[in-house]
Structure 1
Amino acid sequence: MAGSGKHFKYLILGGGVAAGYAAREFARLGVKLGELAIISKEAVAPYERPTLSKAYLFPQGAARLPGFHVCVGSGGERLLPEWYSEKGIELILSTEIVKAELAANTLTSVAGATFTYDNLIVATGSVATRLTDFGIQGADSKNIFYLREIDDADKLLSAIQARKNAKTIIIGGGYIGLELGAALKINELDVTMVYPEPWCMPRLFTAGIAAFYEGYYANKGIKIIKGTTAVGFDSDANGNVTTVKLKDGRVLDAHIVVVGVGARPQTTLLKGQVAEEKGGVKTDGFFKTSAPGVYAVGDIATFPSKLYKELRRVEHVDHSRKSAQQAVKAIKAIEAGRSVEEYDYLPYFYSRAFDLSWQFYGDNIGDAVLFGDADPSSSKPKFGSYWIKDGKIVGAFLESGSPEENQVIAKIARLQPPAPDLRQLQSDGLSFASKL
């Protein structure tokens, strides 16, 4: 059996963004031939997953592998499959692990192959929440899509290309919903977004920020239905979805449905073997779990935030990259009898859609102040927001900022300076951050 009984000094479980960045860090710090392997259920080497909801779906100039293998997402070297071979790193692809026995340092695949290790980095990420999980009638119809892996994107792409101006319903108003709404509209589909919240991206956006994006999308011809959600689907004789039934009684015609209602961390393999907290695997500031030699990174890790002095779990590509690098640094430091600084992470989120591009740093709690031109019909809108708590600026958001301006709002979110009068802050806008 391929791979059965193989032993590795370092083993990375999961083949997403975190795995690729961890591999690069191992190579940078020194790894010998045959010491490191990556086990992934996907058939391709680690790639920049955010591309799937953006350029991968574009009708012209679409991104394709090998163009977006890691680590191009952060401006680094692109790690082609050959790179792993050259570094003596084994890629064990199309291999799903179904059992982890941490006390025995052993992983077992669905085919029965076993792998043992000295150090394990678990980078299994999240799995998309499916409507079938809630027993929604007709949710297993054909042409209802989720987007997490390259195979998902390929299936969606086939549906997009199969029918011009297809009636497309997007369920969900978060990251996936907004980015896919833009990508599908660029493909000239008839797009309607449906979400239960009073505005889009409610976990991050204020009502004022959301009003801009909803207006901008409406101007692009995207229909938005808020305050309700899908409760059922009808399909034709071939099992293809034909309608989406909403909780408010409306029925929408549909040829394609894309669902983006969140994701949950894939921690099932570790259940009962490691300490858990806040829906993830509890780690220290080096991403070490309660199991000896086992580290957890990315979406699944609940780690101590140095900045906010509390445990946090963060689902975003930036944290996936940085937590993976931190875990590798910690492993190599222990071997060398050295120490590394604890993880000191400034929360960072970003998105791109149409001609828009926003960045957010810090915490979105307390009072929010909106500044700048947030008119969705402006030819060049540019606006931002600060969040103020206990008299300090704790978070900052900027749409259409330059690289230098984005660095400025990152700095203010980390420094947390005293906030002036809210009216003054609104009037000063970006210049307040620039003066610091």
Structure 2
Amino acid sequence: MAEKHFKYVILGGGVAAGYAAREFAKHGLNPGELAIISKEAVAPYERPTLSKAYLFPQGAARLPGFHVCVGSGGERLLPEWYSEKGIELILSTEIVKADLASKTLTSAAGAIFTYDILIIATGSTVINLSDFGTPGADANNIFYLREIDDADKLVAAIQAKKNGKAVIVGGGYIGLELSAVMKINNFDVTMVYPEPWCMPRLFTPEIAAFYESYYANKGVKIDKGTLVVTSVKLKDGRVLDADIVIVGVGGRPLTKLFKGQAEEEKGGIKTDAFFQTSVGGVYAVGDVATFPLKLYNETRRVEHVDHARKSAEQAVKAIKAIEGGKVTDDYDYLPYFYSRSFDLSWQFYGDNVGETVIFGDNDPASSKPKFGSYWIKEGKLLGAFLEGGSPEENTAIAKLARLQPAVPDLEQLTKEGLTFASKI
């Protein structure tokens, strides 16, 4: 096959790829300079939709409705947008070998692509039950959710098994969102997870208790503190009857193509504040990047769509600044996480370390619950969580997490709750 050369190549076709392409277009591109190589068959789209509106029984989201960059309120980049900008979308193409020294990528079909500058935006792959040696992990009623193909298989199963039984394995983002959407599809839903409460990496026991009770009130059964040892068999020997089993137990960054070629740290590819790796002309963004988190003076890897968008834009700004003999500001990211399920919607900003206080109405039986939590360490507020907040209130708690104000009295902070944010 003929070798194809591009000035810039984005490897991966997820959220980060779309936002990087938009940033390149803003700075000006010559036709044929940029290619996006993706193993998926569609142009970049807003992946969080898959565990929410894509699975709704009525009014479900479908492409082209959620191509990037609609998730952040921007223009929707349809496949024709890329061709109009002279960007080559190389879809349904899996890269199986990357040689960073010779700046060469080789596809499963033997096609060879060379580049001057590479942006690694390969994201994560789901952790599979078979990774744990789980017997029965290959049963045909077990589903995962990462790409649109996965979502289409799940939609077909939902339609085929109407009003059936679903077991959701995992109590994190995907587990909570999928449990809600399967209940909306009128399935009998059981959530199973080994941790003592849901979303343990972020939620305190008090926050988790609200969501677990809220879900229980919606009819979702929760079996926590246990493991699935076969497709629907629990560690204690009980068997859960299920038409559909959906596994959402996390992901792993897709870095294997670059092992031994670029410096790694904390499970990701190590970058600087501009997302440049240890290899000149190679950048890594989104889930795969371990980067300096300026706000906390440490390096971290962050798996979230917000960081995928912003890190992609930062890398392109840095690339274009270097070309123009200019400098760009360091990446100064405020960690941000959010989720929506049923009638609930929460946002979190900052760092979840230190002591916590909880405020507001966290009664799961309330018609409109609205509550929050602050994290305080060494007398400073470092993190803020809010369920049911308005856009203005969410902006206010983001500001708190960024400014890290002093908190002299935790009892007073609990009483003030949201009004503390309005004072800063």
**Residue 369 of structure 1, CA deviation:** 0.5
Q: Within the alignment, does 1:294 sit opposite 2:282 as a pair?
A: yes
Distance 2:332 2:47 in 1: 24
Distance 1:7 1:401 in 2: 49
Partner residue, 1:389: 377
- For residues 414-425 of structure 1, what are the structure 2 equivalents within 5 Å? 414-425=402-413
Distance 1:205 1:134 in 2: 25
1:190 is aligned, of 188, 193, 199, to: 188
Distance 2:183 2:174 in 1: 14
Partner residue, 1:240: none
Aligned-partner SS, 2:96:
strand
- For residues 1-400 of structure 1, what are the structure 2 equivalents within 5 Å? 1=1, 4-233=2-231, 244-400=232-388
1:190-214 CA deviation, whole Å, 9 max, x = no partner? 1000000110000000000000100
1:38-69 CA deviation, whole Å, 9 max, x = no partner? 00000000000000000000001100000000
Aligned-partner SS, 1:246:
coil
The one-letter code of the counterpart of 2:146 is: R
**Residue 292 of structure 1, CA deviation:** 1.1
1:206-234 CA deviation, whole Å, 9 max, x = no partner? 0000001001100100000010010013x
Partner residue, 1:434: 422
Aligned-partner SS, 2:414:
helix
Aligned-partner SS, 1:232:
coil
Aligned-partner SS, 2:366:
coil
Distance 2:378 2:154 in 1: 46
The one-letter code of the counterpart of 1:384 is: G
Aligned-partner SS, 1:252:
coil
Aligned-partner SS, 1:224:
strand
**Residue 163 of structure 1, CA deviation:** 1.5
Name the % identity.
78
The one-letter code of the counterpart of 2:263 is: A
The one-letter code of the counterpart of 1:81 is: P
The one-letter code of the counterpart of 1:230 is: V
Distance 2:285 2:293 in 1: 14
Superposed CA RMSD in Å reads: 0.6
Distance 1:126 1:317 in 2: 12
Superposition misfits of 4+ residues, deviation over 3 angstroms: none
Distance 2:294 2:239 in 1: 48
The one-letter code of the counterpart of 1:346 is: L
Q: Could you tell which deviates more after superposition, 9-18 or 245-254?
A: 245-254
**Residue 420 of structure 1, CA deviation:** 3.0
Aligned-partner SS, 2:337:
strand
Distance 1:262 1:163 in 2: 26
Distance 2:28 2:162 in 1: 51
Question: Any gaps of 5 or more consecutive residues in structure 1?
Answer: 234-243
**Residue 135 of structure 1, CA deviation:** 1.3
Distance 1:380 1:106 in 2: 55
Distance 1:374 1:220 in 2: 16
